[in-house]
Amino acid sequence: MPSATLGDNTSLLASNPNSPAPARATSEDAYERQFAKGFATLRFEPELEAQYRLALAEEQRPAAMVCAAATLLVWALFAGYDFVRLDVLRNGIHSWDLWFLLIGRSGTLAIAMILIVTPLRRWLPLSRLAVIVYCMVAIVASTNAIIYKSHGIASADAALVVVVMGAFLPLGMVVSHALIVSLTPVVAAAIAGILLLNDITGRGHFGLVFVLAMAVPVGGIGGYMRELAHRRQFLLTGMLARQAQFDPLTDLANRRLFQRHATAALAHAARTDEPVLLAMIDIDHFKMFNDKHGHAAGDEALCAVADAMRNLARRPMDMATRLGGEEFALLLYGTNMERARPVLEALRQRVLETTRPRPQDKGVTISIGVTEPLPGEDLMAVYRRADELLYASKTNGRDRITEG
């Protein structure tokens, strides 16, 4: 959220009160737009796609760590079994491919442990970590199976199907990445077969490669359907979360979100000894305005007030909210009464100028009660005092600001 000084906000409101209100483009718009547009290609708009991938990584991280732990354990057992199976201590190693088998298995185990167990796992995105580790394991597993076959040693070739299908486990990867990773053991097995197997030992090898290749679309279909459902749930959850925290008409924060944010802001201001203001704002004679111009004009007036307030609450700790009906609240953090006074006056003028149903009509006016928290006051105490000041503005003629 861009930072802006109150002086900037004052000029923004006062210099051209007839300028059009800013568009209320929100995350909810992005969720709904994407939902309506569809996502059959498993791709969202760039900003939403980044949010989705972060959410996917956080959601699948526990499962990915479990899969990683199981993989390291099984891989370590295979690494030890390689030394026993080849009887390294008695026979030694006399060919480069067997050296590759032993070093590749042990080296992959070491690198995977470094990436997964050490703090590096926090520095690398989960999706990238999964791709690196999985590709290493897939390449070495496929190549080792071919090396064993080239030496006439029985190997569980069918187990490579598990390696291919495992790419679609919840590892924090999207399906497009899982498809690429699942092809890695297929390609590795094909290349190793060409380089290491002769006509005799290679019989049936390309039948195995074909079976591995067929496992990719089978796993991919399941992964596609799962991610499609997951993306749908992500959008629905985002839409519901927005609806639970924001007013549907004005897109300002609702009372629930405002209370949570304002409580935290007051506590932070008390710790850092920074000023903070709470302004209660109410549209004057709103029922009469509705009766005269219609509810559509009334809704436009509410949105105009919201847009004017949104221009003020542009810093991270500021917040504008619609409390209900025609009542609003504005929290300005790091601002004292002297600096806020011209801003709130400019807000009154902007609302008046931008809420005219027709050029010849008069726009609505607003009454404001604004206060600074006293030492030790909680949100409810500040809220009550600001509400009393708002009531004073109402009883003293409306269209005014009462400070306290």
Task: Give, in order, the Cα–Cα distances in Å from 164 to each of 136, 159, 216, 320.
Answer: 13, 9, 7, 52
Contact 140, 105 (CB under 8 A): yes
Query: Among 28, 227, 326, 372, which one carries the catalytic annotation?
Result: 326
Rounded-to-integer distance, Cα 192 and Cα 142, Å: 8
CB-based burial label for 212 (10 Å; 0-12, 13-18, 19+): buried
CB-based burial label for 192 (10 Å; 0-12, 13-18, 19+): buried
Number of C-beta neighbours around residue 380 at 10 A? 10
In the residue annotation, 353 being an active-site residue is answered as no
Nearest to 170 by CA among 73, 40, 58: 58
Contact 67, 171 (CB under 8 A): yes
CA atoms within 13 A on the CB side of 296: 1
B/e letters for 307-340, b = 16+ CB within 10 Å, e = fewer, are bbbbbbbbbebbbbbbbeebbbbbbbbbbeeebb
CB-based burial label for 100 (10 Å; 0-12, 13-18, 19+): middle
Rounded-to-integer distance, Cα 21 and Cα 365, Å: 17
CA dihedral 128, 134, 137, 139 (to 10 degrees): -90
Nearest to 111 by CA among 61, 153, 72, 59: 72
Q: How many helices (H) and strands (E) does the chain have?
A: 15, 5
- Alpha helices by DSSP H, listed for 273-366, are 286-293, 295-312, 337-354
Task: Give, in order, the Cα–Cα distances in Å from 134 to each of 100, 107, 211, 394.
Answer: 18, 14, 20, 68
Rounded-to-integer distance, Cα 357 and Cα 363, Å: 7
CA atoms within 13 A on the CB side of 341: 5
Lookup: tokens for 360: 């010849």
What residues are annotated to the active site?
326
